A and B are shown apart, each in its own frame.
Chain A
């Protein structure tokens, strides 16, 4: 697989990243803007989500419908998402349409209309998303766990609260947009069938005049952490557990990822084997690695019928702790193969590559080639993984359970 990477920073701070891929006719684009939920103004949580929705409702010469129709007629598949540090605009289209799509997104970034008339429906949709969480306990469990686990406000719930959404006004959110949408810290990454010099020229012409705002990041406070149970008359108990690990930029990152694979990398990994295959306790149990810039966590989730919740909780904790007792060589071999294979297969998708470019640069300030990743994974031994698990033992769990009855968390004291 050919790997040709490019990067270029414009004078205003905007960073352009590219990967030229052979054998594809598409080009995908990911734009990350440092205006995520962690930057929501005090009392206005959910601001990033509303702004993200609102910014798509007309920009530059186009009103809402014209903007939508323009993207549709270019066959552009687009998604908008809000994360901790960033709002994310992702698009995928045939490469011949990339230039036009870029033109539309330059309007969205630089001159969204943000009209009074389109504000209320934007807010109302986020309010409905918030309410929908009550019908999606698994999703709610993971969002609320993240909110409790990370230092505040880094894990902030992107949908805000009923009160904060009600407090949002067009004026306040316009001001928020003006402050947070800045070329500094914004990354525009493209992957696929691209012409890099032409792309740079076009980006510079469209976005070169975007003025930086110099907005500072949020003040960080300790996490809420602890144990919380939310009573709900649900068919399953939804159990979330989180503990700290090293971030993506840490030298033990690969060891942390391999430890995560041993725990939950596939059907033969420990959580699935012990809880589902051997005991039939659950249909779903998993643990995933998640990293912000300076902190990271392992987030485990299991759901069981309520009468099996205690056993499920205790087994999940025991399995996580058991990693420190030792890891078999064949577990590490499998983990390495799985991690490398997933990377190569993701490498076939232009969208996955555009996301990876933006993520690499955000976390590391550079791009990693497939060869580098592969070598780093191969070079990580079972001893490294065990050392990592012992250096960063699973403790001080943050726990969130949604279900009919609380679970006894006494095992955490043992």
Chain B
């Protein structure tokens, strides 16, 4: 297994982790753009544009795009986050060329007016769909409150108003700036014919223009405080916490990963034993959101309204205790085994390895084989983990509550 790498003249990077024995291959275009690269007047444009990419080109109408993906039995999709827009598919190796022909073509969408108007309805429905998901709402509110006024706090979906007012011309201007060749990486994983991949990329993408895409990389301060959103229609009290964490580019990230597993994995973690095991909450989990020049530890809990104050107090106490005394050696070993085992299982399927390989490259310009990453992880000590917890300070939090309560 090794990494192959090429760069087209227009700045588009092509990389692949090749494993000839795999039954399938996965490929994806990773565009370095998302909600953080939007201004408020175009809030939601990255995500809307992700939908419009599937609405066809001069060569294919929207229905043909769908038919072609389905005809090769592709397992494909796209997603938009605060800072990435990703289009990917997994296919049997014989469809590599067909997949790249299609992905390479649709990445230059026609953005036809009638498709734009029709798809806007789908986006508005998607926004309504997420309104029926309190867990998503608390996540979105937490990022907004924690990062504001930094653009990392922008909503990925945008609002009914912002999407409603968006014009095709605004989207086109955004597209030309953000989907420049040098702002994209094409990544392949699994049973990939790399020479053919590069040749196809040159044919499909060689003419894409270069542009000054850029990104505001000012580091967010991270807000402290508390925000309570009262909604009597929500039954369970949702509680979320955010605090500072290492950036994607920071060497502390392995220790940060271990800290979240130790404190907030869905089983066997400190928060699990303190909250879920005694059934004070039905959920308690912590994730490490490692971002471009930023980072945050995010904790999510849901409970009966009457238990909310107690739950928050216990969660804070657990974090303080962890920060004061750190993990035991047995906890460290278990956390390392869990992370390593999870990454190995995921890595056995090309689609599972795709984003990991891509993000190593996009965020850090590096390729690290999985075995080497696992070695690095196992070398982290308990002292390093507790140092990271102290340095970033788990107690410096923004708390968001959403649900029936008017106060905590």
Q: Please indicate whether A and B come from the same complex rather than being unrelated chains.
A: yes
| Chain A residues packing against B (C-beta within 8 Å) | 1, 22-26, 64-65, 68-69, 71-78, 92-94, 97, 120-122, 124-125, 128-129, 131-132, 134-138, 233-236, 238, 265-269, 272-273, 276-277, 279-284, 303-305, 308, 330, 333-334, 337-342, 344-345, 347-351
Q: Bound state CA distance, A280 and B48, in angstroms?
A: 14
Question: Chain B: which residue is nearest A351 at the CB level?
Answer: B345
Contact between A273 and B125, CB atoms less than 8 A apart? no
Contact between A348 and B236, CB atoms less than 8 A apart? no
Residues in A with CB closer than 8 Å to B351 are 345
- B279 partner, pick from A120, A347, A348, A349, beta carbons under 8 A: A120
Q: Does B310 contact A (CB under 8 A)?
A: no
Contact between A338 and B128, CB atoms less than 8 A apart? no
Question: Chain A: which residue is nearest B91 at the CB level?
Answer: A341
Q: Does B11 contact A (CB under 8 A)?
A: no
Contact between A23 and B21, CB atoms less than 8 A apart? yes
Q: Does B233 contact A (CB under 8 A)?
A: yes
Contact between B71 and A267, CB atoms less than 8 A apart? no
**Sampled A-B contacts (10; CB under 8 Å):** A26-B345, A68-B268, A73-B337, A132-B302, A134-B236, A236-B131, A265-B70, A268-B63, A334-B70, A342-B73
Contact between B23 and A348, CB atoms less than 8 A apart? yes
Contact between A268 and B23, CB atoms less than 8 A apart? no
Contact between B129 and A284, CB atoms less than 8 A apart? yes
Contact between B62 and A277, CB atoms less than 8 A apart? yes
CB distance from A329 to the nearest CB of B (A): 12
Q: Knowing A72-B268, A345-B90 touch, does A337 contact B337 (C-beta < 8 A)?
A: no
Q: Write out, one digit per residue, whether chain B residues 4-35 have a CB within 8 A of any chain A CB (1) or not (0).
A: 00000000000000000111100000000000
Contact between B70 and A338, CB atoms less than 8 A apart? yes
Contact between A25 and B344, CB atoms less than 8 A apart? yes
| Chain B residues packing against A (C-beta within 8 Å) | 21-24, 54, 62-63, 65-67, 69-75, 90-92, 118-126, 128-129, 131-135, 233-236, 267-268, 272-273, 276-279, 281-282, 302-304, 330, 333-335, 337-338, 340-342, 344-345, 348-351
For A69, A129, A268, A304, the residue with the greatest tally of chain B CB atoms inside 10 Å of its CB is A268
Residues in B with CB closer than 8 Å to A69 are 268, 330, 334
Contact between A135 and B73, CB atoms less than 8 A apart? no
Q: Bound state CA distance, A304 and B124, in angstroms?
A: 10
Residues in A with CB closer than 8 Å to B341 are 26, 74-77, 92-94, 97
Contact between B234 and A135, CB atoms less than 8 A apart? yes
Question: Chain A: which residue is nearest B54 at the CB level?
Answer: A267
Contact between B348 and A350, CB atoms less than 8 A apart? yes
Contact between B22 and A131, CB atoms less than 8 A apart? no
Contact between A345 and B69, CB atoms less than 8 A apart? no
Question: Chain B: which residue is nearest A67 at the CB level?
Answer: B268
Q: Bound state CA distance, A281 and B277, in angstroms?
A: 43
Q: Bound state CA distance, A80 and B272, in angstroms?
A: 16
CB distance from A239 to the nearest CB of B (A): 13
Question: Chain A: which residue is nearest B130 at the CB level?
Answer: A235
Q: Bound state CA distance, A25 and B345, in angstroms?
A: 8
CB distance from B20 to the nearest CB of A (A): 10
Contact between A267 and B70, CB atoms less than 8 A apart? yes
- A333 partner, pick from B71, B277, B330, beta carbons under 8 A: B71
CB distance from A89 to the nearest CB of B (A): 13
Q: Knowing A276-B122, A283-B125, A334-B70 touch, does A68 contact B267 (C-beta < 8 A)?
A: yes
Q: Bound state CA distance, A159 and B287, in angstroms?
A: 28
Q: Bound state CA distance, A26 and B348, in angstroms?
A: 8
Q: Knowing A268-B63, A334-B67 touch, does A75 contact B340 (C-beta < 8 A)?
A: yes
Q: Knowing A93-B341, A128-B304 touch, does A277 contact B66 (C-beta < 8 A)?
A: yes
Q: Bound state CA distance, A122 and B261, in angstroms?
A: 23
Q: Bound state CA distance, A122 and B66, in angstroms?
A: 45
Q: A128-B236, A131-B235, A344-B92 are in contact. List 12 more A-B contacts (CB 8 A).
A: A71-B267, A121-B278, A128-B304, A134-B235, A236-B128, A236-B129, A238-B132, A265-B70, A268-B63, A273-B63, A345-B23, A350-B345
Question: Chain B: which residue is nearest A276 at the CB level?
Answer: B122
Q: Bound state CA distance, A282 and B123, in angstroms?
A: 9
Contact between B330 and A341, CB atoms less than 8 A apart? no
- A72 partner, pick from B66, B119, B122, B267, beta carbons under 8 A: B267
- A121 partner, pick from B54, B91, B279, beta carbons under 8 A: B279
Contact between B125 and A304, CB atoms less than 8 A apart? yes
Q: Bound state CA distance, A238 and B129, in angstroms?
A: 10
CB distance from B341 to the nearest CB of A (A): 3
Q: Bound state CA distance, A321 and B275, in angstroms?
A: 49
Q: Bound state CA distance, A272 and B65, in angstroms?
A: 13
Contact between A92 and B345, CB atoms less than 8 A apart? yes
Contact between B67 and A280, CB atoms less than 8 A apart? no
Contact between A337 and B22, CB atoms less than 8 A apart? no
Q: Bound state CA distance, A267 and B335, in angstroms?
A: 39
Contact between A268 and B128, CB atoms less than 8 A apart? no
Question: Chain B: which residue is nearest A122 at the CB level?
Answer: B279
CB distance from A326 to the nearest CB of B (A): 18
Contact between A282 and B122, CB atoms less than 8 A apart? yes
Contact between B131 and A348, CB atoms less than 8 A apart? no
CB distance from A352 to the nearest CB of B (A): 9
For A129, A134, A233, A348, the residue with the greatest tally of chain B CB atoms inside 10 Å of its CB is A348
- A272 partner, pick from B66, B124, B267, beta carbons under 8 A: B66
Q: Bound state CA distance, A338 and B92, in angstroms?
A: 11
Residues in B with CB closer than 8 Å to A71 are 267-268
Q: Knowing A73-B337, A132-B235, A281-B121 touch, does A26 contact B67 (C-beta < 8 A)?
A: no
Q: Bound state CA distance, A233 and B234, in angstroms?
A: 10
- A125 partner, pick from B24, B134, B282, B348, beta carbons under 8 A: B282
Q: Bound state CA distance, A215 and B25, in angstroms?
A: 47
Contact between A73 and B330, CB atoms less than 8 A apart? yes
Question: Chain A: which residue is nearest B67 at the CB level?
Answer: A268
Q: Bound state CA distance, A350 and B119, in angstroms?
A: 38
CB distance from B275 to the nearest CB of A (A): 11
Which 10 pairs across A and B sit closest by C-beta, in order of nearness? A341-B73, A75-B341, A280-B121, A75-B337, A124-B279, A235-B131, A267-B66, A128-B282, A121-B279, A266-B70
Q: Bound state CA distance, A72 and B327, in angstroms?
A: 15
Question: Chain A: which residue is nearest B261 at the CB level?
Answer: A72
CB distance from B141 to the nearest CB of A (A): 15
CB distance from B94 to the nearest CB of A (A): 10
Residues in B with CB closer than 8 Å to A334 are 67, 70-71
CB distance from B139 to the nearest CB of A (A): 14
